[in-house]
Amino acid sequence: MRSMTLPRLLASFLLVPAALTTAAEQPARDARKIYAEFCASCHGANMEGGSAPSLVSGQWRYGGDDAALSTSIRNGRPQNGMPGFGATVSEKEIRGLVVFINEQAGQASSRRTPAPSPSADTVATGKLHSFRVETVVSGLREPYAIAFQPDGLVLITEKRGTLRVVEKGVLRPEPVSGLPAVDSGGQGGLFDVVLHPDFARNGWIYLAFSDQLKTEPNRGAVMTTLIRGRLKGNTWTDQQIIFRAPEETFRHGGNHFGGRLAFDKNNFLFFSIGERGNQVDAQNLTLPNGKIHRLHDDGRVPVDNPFLKTPGAIPSIWSYGHRNPQGLRFHPVTGELWEHEHGPRGGDELNIIQRGLNYGWPLATFGMNYNGTPITDVTARPDIQPPITYWLPSIAPCGLAIYTGDRFPKWKNQLFVSSLAAQELRRLEVKDGKVIDQEIIFKGLGRLRDVANGPDGLLYVLLQDRVARLAPAAE
């Protein structure tokens, strides 16, 4: 018979299930602390290796994917001197360690292979195309989104709540007047700007913004609201509210607004609202936050929306279980609705949005809390739509474009993702619903809030204080 530890022996006498005495019942600990306590002595304080191999060299004996890492930690490789931690570290905590190791490994790998960081007039060499980053408009403050009118005017939202117009290449000094008050505290602000597909005929411009209640009982609470209006000269006119949530559902705090919108071929309008920092709200269909919504262009609810028969559900909901979706665009060829969302540490996701489905937050995620404690060890569930991919370390995605131009032929129909924390522009090549190639196009030019197709076939990016575009290097 195997020898028993004293607590286990006692537990078996008292007929207490052994599980009750294991780590699973303890409050989950910070991954960095667990690492320092249980792993650093062999793998090195910074995972650089010691008596045990480095965990950040990019080379794995048993495979560097999540499942292999979890198995190594849970079961150990006792014959080779790696103890198993399944009895002392809970499944949630193992998940935290996997995120932490991946973060460290990812950072080490980006130090080994730095991405281009092109300054003005230098050529950056990418995998498929070389390019220059040219400044198009400067003098902006935290531009959030960009839209190109067919008559040549360019509209740019700024986070602080202002809409700017560029006319014949020159930024109008005054922002557009007549816009509603925008609460730009925290992550709040003026978000996406999108033109009606029939803009040339009807002139409708759509905006999403964080809308703060000025009256009791919920004074100060904020939610993402959607409006449309027209531009006359430099004035916002004809405003209509397209979506405004019931006031009792507005939330306090300045996090996770979503705020992206996209039209499909049939003029249905899709838009995202983040969970506003209230994780469980994302699963609650009676609340607007943590959802992708779908409406007619004038705000009417389509008769075939998925939750019309669900008692109490917000009728515009199209999909749920989202944390903070800040990228939402239709694929020009497949017609799929691509979305990315800003997850917790290690949980940024890329998804294809489908009618009525649950995308899992916070029941299943690849991420952990910012303080290093786990959220859950559940990364997948049969009733939950898995992401196409996720980013670990997190990049904090904000802005998505699927390249439609012809100036960079090899980029055609590929995904471009801009990011805040990682300050990079990524290219993703997708085949049969899988990401088969990923490249950091550039890095280190500051936080990026959006990437967009220009009418000239070039790719535009929004930097902290300007709009720039990527132009082929040969020209």
Size of the chain in residues = 475
Among residues 60 and 268, whose Cβ is nearest to ligand HEC?
60
Among residues 97 and 364, whose Cβ is nearest to ligand HEC?
97
For the bound state, the minimum distance from the C-beta of residue 63 to ligand HEC, rounded and expressed in Å, comes to 7
| Residue 55 Ramachandran class (φ > 0 left, ψ -120 to 50 alpha, else beta) | alpha
For the bound state, the minimum distance from the C-beta of residue 30 to ligand HEC, rounded and expressed in Å, comes to 13
| Phi and psi at residue 395, to the nearest 5° | -110, -15
**Catalytic residue (one of 43, 196, 256, 342):** 256
Among residues 60 and 199, whose Cβ is nearest to ligand HEC?
60
Among residues 42 and 421, whose Cβ is nearest to ligand HEC?
42
| 256 is known as an active-site residue | yes
According to DSSP, the β-strands at 291-296 and 317-320 are antiparallel
Among residues 9 and 62, whose Cβ is nearest to ligand HEC?
62
Per CB under 6 A, residues contacting ligand HEC are 38-39, 41-43, 52-53, 60-62, 69, 72-73, 77, 80-83, 85, 97
For the bound state, the minimum distance from the C-beta of residue 103 to ligand HEC, rounded and expressed in Å, comes to 13
For the bound state, the minimum distance from the C-beta of residue 469 to ligand HEC, rounded and expressed in Å, comes to 43
For the bound state, the minimum distance from the C-beta of residue 27 to ligand HEC, rounded and expressed in Å, comes to 18
Instruction: Give the integer Cα–Cα distance in Å for 71 and 110.
Output: 26
Pair 367, 92: CB distance under 8 Å? no
Distance (Å) of CA 429 to CA 99, 126, 217, 389, 458: 24, 14, 49, 12, 18
Question: Which helix or strand (DSSP H or E) is residue 200 part of?
Answer: helix 199-202
Instruction: Give the integer Cα–Cα distance in Å for 359 and 321.
Output: 5
Question: Could you count the other beta carbons within 10 Å of the beta carbon of residue 283?
Answer: 16
For the bound state, the minimum distance from the C-beta of residue 76 to ligand HEC, rounded and expressed in Å, comes to 7
Question: Greatest CA span in the chain, whole angstroms?
Answer: 87
Among residues 189 and 372, whose Cβ is nearest to ligand HEC?
372
**Positive/negative CA dihedral, 209, 215, 217, 219:** positive
Instruction: Give the integer Cα–Cα distance in Å for 353 and 169.
Output: 36
Distance, CA of 317 to chain centre: 19
| Phi and psi at residue 432, to the nearest 5° | 50, 45
The set of catalytic residues is 256
